[in-house]
């Protein structure tokens, strides 16, 4: 007769393994993409216009990390692997990359040309979207600590709900940035919409065979 | 901060400290880039009179040639697939001598010119490029323009088996462009067949392409197979793709902003230092009307350039 309790046999050891991987490790591990960019820059791998590439890669890393942060809860619910504890690290590191992306735009791209910056931030749709997305993430970054969870209590969840509009708007910023419709950006937006839909559905554990 | 209540059994550094460290790191990076850029103030508006000619490597590895891919490095990767010899050019429309000509036949007997022009892309970057070629007006005189002709239309090769993106719908193929006849006849307008006294590389539009230095770069159509003299304004591919963003004239104009980004300034590709790290700091300079080629201003006297963008 098949062992119905087999699924618990796999989950427990994996979760024991995961316990060894502390969330704080990810603050270092997730610096690897940044390191990769720097190494590529120094070796000429970023080509003739490195600034543009850096701007793009920082933004893409930030957006992808943010999306992955949103995937942690559905994956945990479906598999029972305890991944939710990594959410804070992934969330903060995505904010880190998005901030660097914004600073690259402000300092290396626009070079503090304020009149053009203001025009862009107020009149140019895809830039407005990017700014809004970043601004929506700021309260999340500021409250990503235990002190805030205690002080804000029921408001904390409401604040962190802002991640949903932030990630959609971020996805739209990514899509509208290019002169033509880019498949990567469309794929990203689809994944975002899927994850948001998942949030509103009760997820059943996958029965492991 | 109460560490004992911390559910996540973390390392030795309390969270509020390393989150702050992160913020300091970010601020530090911001400040050090400011220091590195020396004086990035809006007052840095003046164009350098001593602009460096871009290197052959820069010019041939940073191209918008969507037939070969969307990335700037795709043309260098894939353009080798293009067969540029033999190359036939069709001369059609309101001309005295229409027909299909071999390229060498077409260019025979026309003076060569060497022109170092600024190329300003609509995306907000620019280069200084040493072209070799012929003046377009000499070619047009050779084929004979009929008096009813008002415009010149150009068409790029359509060959999806060599230009793989032409199998996709990213743009309407073949790429088309056009000029008003007086713009085409202006001595500044050239057909380039070489670069740095080398044959024009394929990623730059071999075997010959238009260069109209006072307009945004996309007007300088590449790998031309057809030139037609017409009475009506020709199709301009980017204008067809997105009429709100790209107009027929597309004169470089800091006062007419693109709907998605400002045109008031441009980054000079080629940076301020040596090698790839130098290319990182591509300084912005104010964009000049007509890309600084004031000698064409008379062509647009009385025209509202924000209407005819």
Asked if B127 and B119 touch (Cβ cutoff 8 Å), the reply is: yes
For the beta carbon of residue B20, count every other beta carbon within 10 angstroms. Answer: 11
B39 or B65, greater pLDDT? B65
- Residue A105 is predicted with a pLDDT of 97
- Residue A181 is predicted with a pLDDT of 86
**In the structure encoding, which two tokens stand for residue A8, read together?**
């618990």
pLDDT at B45 over 80: no
Domain for residue A102, yes or no? yes
B260 touches chain A (CB under 8 A): yes
Q: Which residues of A touch B263 (CB under 8 A)?
A: none
What's the number of domains chain A is made of? 1
Please give, rounded to a whole number of angstroms, the shortest distance from the CA of A206 to a CA of chain B: 26
Q: Output B237-240 pairs: Cβ under 8 A, ≥24 positions apart.
A: B237/B171, B237/B172, B237/B175, B237/B176, B237/B177, B240/B172, B240/B176
Q: Which residues of B touch A120 (CB under 8 A)?
A: 261-262
Closest by CA position to B7, among listed A24, A158, A72, A159: A24
Domain for residue A68, yes or no? yes
Asked if A63 and A174 touch (Cβ cutoff 8 Å), the reply is: yes
pLDDT at B35 over 60: no
Reported confidence tier of residue B182, pLDDT bands at 50, 70, 90: very high
Q: Which residues of B touch A48 (CB under 8 A)?
A: 57-58, 61-62, 72, 269, 279
Contact B262 A46 (CB under 8 A): no
The closest CB to that of A145, out of B15, B42, B284, belongs to B15
- Residue B40 is predicted with a pLDDT of 37
Tens-place pLDDT, residues A156-202: 999 999 999 999 999 999 999 988 888 899 999 999 999 988 887 76
- Residue A81 is predicted with a pLDDT of 87
The closest CB to that of A113, out of B61, B242, B284, belongs to B284
In chain B, positions 3-32, which contact chain A (CB-CB < 8 Å)? 5-11, 13, 15-16, 18-19, 22, 26, 29-30
In chain A, positions 102-161, which contact chain B (CB-CB < 8 Å)? 103, 107-116, 119-120, 123-127, 144-147
Q: ipTM value of the model?
A: 0.85
- Residue B78 is predicted with a pLDDT of 97
Domain for residue A144, yes or no? yes
- Residue A161 is predicted with a pLDDT of 94
Domain for residue A116, yes or no? yes
Asked if A50 and B279 touch (Cβ cutoff 8 Å), the reply is: yes
Distant-in-sequence, close-in-space partners of A199: CB < 8 Å, separation ≥ 6: A70, A73, A74, A164
| Out of A3-17, B133-147, B183-197, B230-244, least confident range | A3-17
| Out of A37-41, A147-151, B42-46, B136-140, least confident range | B42-46
Q: What phi-psi label fits residue B73: left (phi over 0), alpha (psi between -120 and 50 degrees) or beta? A: alpha
The full set of domains in chain B, from first to last, is 57-247 (3.90.420.10)
The closest CB to that of B19, out of A108, A126, A145, belongs to A145
Asked if B14 and B1 touch (Cβ cutoff 8 Å), the reply is: yes
Mean pLDDT of chain B: 87
- Residue B8 is predicted with a pLDDT of 42
Reported confidence tier of residue B29, pLDDT bands at 50, 70, 90: low
- Residue B10 is predicted with a pLDDT of 44
Asked if A189 and A64 touch (Cβ cutoff 8 Å), the reply is: no
Cα–Cα dist B129/B135, whole Å: 16
Detail the DSSP E strand segments found in B109-162: 113-120, 125-135, 151-156
The enclosing H or E element of B16 equals helix B15-37
- Residue B2 is predicted with a pLDDT of 44
Tens-place pLDDT, residues B61-108: 999 999 999 999 999 999 999 999 999 999 999 999 999 999 999 999
Q: What phi-psi label fits residue A143: left (phi over 0), alpha (psi between -120 and 50 degrees) or beta? A: alpha
Angle, nearest 10°, between helix axes A87-103 and A50-79?
Answer: 160
Contact B262 A24 (CB under 8 A): no
Looking at chain A, the whole-number percentage of residues with pLDDT higher than 70 is 92
A20 touches chain B (CB under 8 A): no
- Residue A92 is predicted with a pLDDT of 97
- Residue B39 is predicted with a pLDDT of 38
- How wide is the angle at C-alpha A5 spanned by C-alphas A4 and A10, nearest 5°? 125
The SS3 call for residue B178 is strand
Distant-in-sequence, close-in-space partners of B277: CB < 8 Å, separation ≥ 6: A41, A42, A50
Q: Where are the alpha helices (DSSP H) in B38-91?
A: 56-60, 74-78
The closest CB to that of B26, out of A27, A99, A120, belongs to A99
Domain for residue A66, yes or no? yes
- Residue A2 is predicted with a pLDDT of 52
Asked if A166 and A149 touch (Cβ cutoff 8 Å), the reply is: no
In chain A, positions 42-101, which contact chain B (CB-CB < 8 Å)? 42-44, 46-51, 54, 85, 88, 92, 96, 99-100
Q: Which residues of B touch A103 (CB under 8 A)?
A: 26, 29-30, 33
Cα–Cα dist B253/B263, whole Å: 7
Cα–Cα dist B300/B298, whole Å: 5
The SS3 call for residue A7 is helix
Burial class (CB in 10 A: 0-12, 13-18, 19+), A176: middle
- Residue A79 is predicted with a pLDDT of 84
- Residue B216 is predicted with a pLDDT of 97
Cα–Cα dist B193/A120, whole Å: 38
Q: Which of B16, B17, B19, B69 to mutate to test the interface with A (most CBs of A within 10 A)?
A: B19
Tens-place pLDDT, residues B207-259: 999 999 999 999 999 999 999 999 999 999 999 999 999 999 999 999 998 88
Q: Which domain holds residue A144?
A: 6-199
Cα–Cα dist B111/B137, whole Å: 11
- Residue B13 is predicted with a pLDDT of 55
Domain for residue A58, yes or no? yes
Output the pTM of the full model.
Answer: 0.84
Q: Which residue of A has its CA nearest to B4?
A: A146
Domain for residue A204, yes or no? no
Mean pLDDT of chain A: 90
Domain for residue A163, yes or no? yes
The closest CB to that of A108, out of B33, B57, B261, belongs to B33
User: Beta strand pairing status for B224-230 and B88-93?
Assistant: parallel
Once rounded to an integer, what is the mean pLDDT over residues A21-25?
91
Tens-place pLDDT, residues B262-309: 899 999 998 666 666 778 888 899 999 999 999 999 999 999 998 899
Contact B44 A100 (CB under 8 A): no
B61 touches chain A (CB under 8 A): yes
Contact B34 A107 (CB under 8 A): yes
pLDDT at A24 over 60: yes
Tens-place pLDDT, residues A46-101: 989 999 999 999 999 999 999 999 999 988 888 888 899 999 999 999 999 999 99
Contact A124 B241 (CB under 8 A): no
């Amino acid at each position: 007769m098949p062992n119905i309790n087999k699924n618990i046999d796999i989950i427990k050891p994996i979760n024991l393994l995961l316990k060894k991987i502390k969330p704080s490790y990810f603050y270092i591990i997730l610096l690897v993409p940044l390191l990769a960019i720097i190494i590529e820059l120094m070796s000429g791998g970023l080509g003739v216009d490195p600034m543009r590439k850096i701007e793009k890669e920082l933004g893409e890393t930030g957006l992808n990390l943010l999306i992955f942060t949103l995937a942690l809860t559905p994956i945990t619910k479906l598999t029972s692997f305890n991944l939710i504890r990594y959410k804070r690290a992934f969330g903060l590191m995505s904010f880190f990359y998005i901030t660097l992306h914004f600073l690259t735009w402000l300092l290396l791209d626009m070079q503090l040309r304020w009149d053009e910056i203001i025009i862009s931030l107020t009149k140019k749709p895809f830039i407005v979207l990017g700014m809004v997305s970043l601004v929506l993430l700021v309260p999340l970054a500021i409250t990503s600590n235990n002190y805030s969870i205690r002080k804000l209590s029921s408001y904390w969840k409401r604040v962190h709900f802002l991640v949903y509009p932030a990630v959609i708007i971020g996805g739209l910023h990514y899509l509208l940035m290019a002169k033509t419709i880019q498949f990567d950006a469309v794929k990203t937006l689809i994944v975002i919409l899927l994850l948001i839909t998942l949030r509103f559905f009760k997820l059943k554990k996958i029965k492991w065979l | 901060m109460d560490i004992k209540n911390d559910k996540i059994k973390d390392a030795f550094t309390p969270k509020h400290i390393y989150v702050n460290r992160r913020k300091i790191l970010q601020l530090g990076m911001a400040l050090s880039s400011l220091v590195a850029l020396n004086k990035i103030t809006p007052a840095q508006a003046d164009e350098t009179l001593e602009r460096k000619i871009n290197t052959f490597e820069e010019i041939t590895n940073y191209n918008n040639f969507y037939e070969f891919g969307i990335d700037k490095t795709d043309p260098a990767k894939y353009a080798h697939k293009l067969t540029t010899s033999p190359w036939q050019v069709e001369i059609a429309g309101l001309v005295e001598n229409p027909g299909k000509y071999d390229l060498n036949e077409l260019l025979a007997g026309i003076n060569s010119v060497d022109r170092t022009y600024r190329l300003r892309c609509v995306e907000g970057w620019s280069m200084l490029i040493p072209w070799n070629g012929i003046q377009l007006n000499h070619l047009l005189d050779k084929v004979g323009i009929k008096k009813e002709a008002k415009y010149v239309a150009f068409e790029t090769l359509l060959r999806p088996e060599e230009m793989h993106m032409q199998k996709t719908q990213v743009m309407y193929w073949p790429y088309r462009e056009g000029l008003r006849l007086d713009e085409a006849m202006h001595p500044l307008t050239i057909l380039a067949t070489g670069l740095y006294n080398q044959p024009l590389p394929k990623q730059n539009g071999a075997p010959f392409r238009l260069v109209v230095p006072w307009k945004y770069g996309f007007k300088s159509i590449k790998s031309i197979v057809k030139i037609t003299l017409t009475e009506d304004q020709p199709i301009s591919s980017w204008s067809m793709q997105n009429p709100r963003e790209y107009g027929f004239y597309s004169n470089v104009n800091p006062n007419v902003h693109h709907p998605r980004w400002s045109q008031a300034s441009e980054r000079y590709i080629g940076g301020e230092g040596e090698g790839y790290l130098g290319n990182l700091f591509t300084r912005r300079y104010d964009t000049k009307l007509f890309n600084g080629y004031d000698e064409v201003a008379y062509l647009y006297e009385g025209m509202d350039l924000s209407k005819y963008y």
